[in-house]
């Protein structure tokens, strides 16, 4: 279904019958991506005495599972600045609108010592003077194995602090990336890119100009055939009262 959208004084057409899901599903198998030294998620039927909440076991008319997982470690998730602050802030209150103009860019991180880093210059060149509400960063190489990796203790690529500052100063409010974190895995808890993007200067006494309504979404996956360019982003989260929620970002190609 094609529709003409009026958004932030812009008019463009999208085809809502052609969604591009860039989320990774959660499963209790080794196919599930893992980060931050966790085990695979647990999805198990409830057991009460001899009763098992699984239709195939013959004791229940419904499938009735408990699920144990960590949103930061087990798949695509969206987080707010409450992820790094002393005071509690939850993503369900931070994200209150769900459609945004977005630019998909592809970057091969640069070698910096033993690290692979996304630089400010790379982001600036890829954006080509555009200033969308959201940015979606696909990193190369981009093998399908990304969807199933255990990232723990592998020193994955990350976003430089300068690049995060650039995105903040450009006014980008939602940052999506196909890595487990925008920061270096072992960084002594500095989290410089998280702090730079959210403009958090003191985690104990939040500054008035901290970006409360901005989000970071990590562990997405954008297939290779999807072209860089301009999209409409539908950023869907579960209604969790938590610093982060599992999420389902969906792109729609802007056709004009």
Q: Where are the domains of the chain?
A: 2-27+72-253
Q: What are phi and psi of 218, to 5 degrees?
A: -120, 165
Query: How high is the pLDDT of residue 12?
Result: 87
Query: In the Cβ-directed half-sphere of 97, how many Cα atoms lie within 13 Å?
Result: 12
Phi, psi angle pair for 113, to nearest 5°: 65, -125
> Can you tell me the distance from the alpha carbon of 181 to that of 9, in angstroms, rounded to the nearest whole number?
33
Closest CA to 183 of 37, 74, 84: 84
| Per-residue DSSP letter, 128 | T
Task: Give residue 6's pLDDT.
Answer: 84
* Dist. CA 113–CA 151, nearest whole Å: 19
Distance CA 214, CA 217 (A): 10
Q: What is the CATH number that goes with domain 2-27+72-253?
A: 3.50.30.50
Q: Look up residue 114 and give its DSSP letter.
A: T
- Cis check: omega of the bond before 141, within 30 degrees of 0: yes
**8-state DSSP, 154:** S
Q: At what angle do helices 120-127 and 161-170 cross, to 10 degrees?
A: 40
pTM of the predicted model, to two decimals? Answer: 0.96
pLDDT digits over 194-229, tens only? 999 999 999 999 999 999 999 999 999 999 999 999
Nearest to 22 by CA among 239, 219, 229: 219
pLDDT of residue 115: 98
What whole-number distance in Å separates Cα of residue 80 and Cα of residue 197? 11
CA-based radius of gyration for the chain:
19
The span from the CA of 35 to the CA of 123, in Å, is: 25
pLDDT score recorded for residue 7: 84
pLDDT of residue 196: 98
Q: Which helix (H) or strand (E) holds 245?
A: strand 244-253
Q: Tell me the average pLDDT of the chain.
A: 96
Strand partners, 135: 103, 175
pLDDT beneath 50: ranges in the chain: none
d(CA 80, CA 198): 8
What value, to the nearest 5°, has the Cα angle with vertex 114 and ends 124 and 181? 55
Closest to 184 (Cα-Cα) out of 115, 129, 135, 253: 115
Q: Is the dihedral of CA 223, 99, 184, 149 positive or negative?
A: negative
């Amino acid at each position: 279904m094609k529709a003409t959208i009026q958004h932030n004084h812009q008019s463009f057409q999208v085809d809502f019958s052609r969604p591009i899901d860039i989320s990774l599903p959660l499963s209790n198998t080794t196919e599930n991506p893992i980060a931050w030294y966790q085990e695979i998620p647990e999805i198990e039927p409830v057991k009460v005495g001899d009763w098992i909440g699984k239709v195939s076991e013959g004791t229940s008319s419904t499938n009735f599972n408990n699920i144990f997982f960590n949103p930061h470690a087990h798949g695509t998730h969206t987080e707010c600045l409450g992820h790094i602050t002393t005071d509690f802030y939850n993503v369900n209150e931070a994200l209150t609108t769900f459609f945004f103009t977005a630019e998909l860019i592809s970057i091969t991180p640069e070698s910096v010592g033993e690290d692979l880093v996304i630089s400010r210059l790379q982001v600036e060149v890829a954006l080509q003077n555009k200033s969308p509400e959201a940015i979606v960063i696909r990193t190369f190489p981009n093998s399908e194995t990304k969807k199933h990796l255990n990232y723990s203790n592998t020193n994955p690529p990350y976003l430089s602090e300068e690049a995060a500052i650039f995105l903040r100063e450009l006014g980008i409010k939602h940052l999506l990336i196909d890595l487990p974190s925008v920061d270096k895995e072992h960084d002594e808890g500095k989290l410089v890119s998280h702090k730079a993007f959210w403009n958090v200067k003191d985690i104990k006494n939040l500054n008035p100009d901290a970006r409360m309504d901005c989000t970071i979404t990590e562990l997405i996956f954008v297939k290779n055939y999807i072209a860089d360019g301009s999209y409409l982003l539908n950023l869907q989260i579960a209604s969790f009262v938590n610093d982060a929620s599992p999420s389902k970002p969906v792109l729609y190609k802007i056709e004009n």
